Amino acid sequence: MSENTDIKLVEAPDGISGAGFFATSFEKVIGLARKHSLWPLPFATSCCGIEYMATMGSNYDISRFGSERPSFSPRQADILMVMGTIAKKMGPVVKQVYEQMAEPRWVIAVGACASSGGIFDTYSVLQGIDRVVPVDVYVPGCPPRPEQILDGLMRVQELAENESLRRRNSPEYQALLASYNIK
């Protein structure tokens, strides 16, 4: 029987191992698990959404990163991926979707419009979604290439892996949410 060398396993975190046991911290194991099963909520409004389709499609294949299940229900989603222009009319909807997500939750602003309003510096466009929700990763580009979107996802993976379990309870984090008027 030939050994299949294509399968890659993640490296075990640091810890103490001996005969029949392996001891490490809880935080590291949970971080590892979270990192590889981030379910995105594709909040696609315009052009960048089409590039997300390409990212989801067979050539770029986002499922290689454990995100093959786009969770359209905010309750089960881990990352909110806001892709495309958010008009002022849409702003409250983004906020509501964010509020419905369970902790821990991350936000990626994909594309120039979601990050800063992009070329649409107009009366009707929200100048960046960070005016209504806190953003973890910004992906530049108009629209970003699928590789860039994947890179953004990997940045969130890094955050998820290294995040302290107690971070979401910290007063800093509560203050951040309070500054956005999110409970």
Partner 1 sequence: MATENKKVELTDLEQFRLDNGLALTEEPQLTTLNLGPTHPATHGIFQNILQMDGEKIVDAVPTIGYIHRAFEKIAERRPFYQITPLTDRMNYCSSPINNMGYHMTVEKLLGITVPKRAQYIRVIMMELARISDHLICNSILGVDSGAFTGFLYVMQEREHIYDIYEEVCGARLTTNMGRIGGMERDLSPKALHLIDEFLKRFPKVWAEFEKMLTRNRIFIDRTTDVGAISAERALSYGFTGPNLRAAGVDYDVRVMNPYSSYEDFEFEIPVGSKGDTYDRFLVRNEEVWQSLKIIEQAYKNLPEGSYHADAPHYYLPPKQEVYRNMEALIYHFKIVMGEIDAPVGEVYHSVEGGNGELGFYLISDGGRTPYRLHFRRPCFIYYQAYTEMIKGGQLADAILTLSSLNVIAGELDA
Partner 2 sequence: MELTNENVLGKIISKFGEENIWDAFNPDGIMTITTNRESIHELIKYLRDDEELQISFLTTMCGIHFPGQGDKEMCMMYQLHSLRHNYRIRIKVFMPASDPVMPTMTDLYATANWMEREAFDFYGFIFTGHPNLTRILNIEEMEYHPMLKQYPLEDQTREDKINTYFGR
Binding residues: 47-48, 113, 142
167 binds, among partner 1, partner 2, none (CB under 5 to 8 A by kind): none
106-110 sheet: strands from edge to edge: 40-44, 79-83, 106-110, 137-139
Question: How many Cβ atoms sit within 10 Å of the Cβ of residue 27?
Answer: 15
Binding site for partner 1 (CB under 8 A): 43-47, 49-51, 53-54, 57-59, 70, 72, 84-87, 89-90, 93, 97, 119-120, 122-125, 142-143, 145
Strand partners, 83: 44, 110
Distances (CA, A) of 2 to 5, 6, 9, 33, 62: 9, 12, 18, 29, 29
Using rule CB under 8 A, residue 124 touches partner 2: yes
Which residue lies nearer to partner 1 by CB, 31 or 152?
152
- Exactly one of 15, 25, 89, 176 binds partner 2 (CB under 8 A); that residue is 89
Q: Which stretch binds partner 2 (CB under 8 A): 70-78, 97-105, 119-127, 150-158?
A: 119-127
127 binds, among partner 2, partner 1, none (CB under 5 to 8 A by kind): partner 2
Using rule CB under 8 A, residue 69 touches partner 2: no
* 44 neighbors 84 (Cβ within 8 angstroms): yes
- The span from the CA of 26 to the CA of 30, in Å, is 6
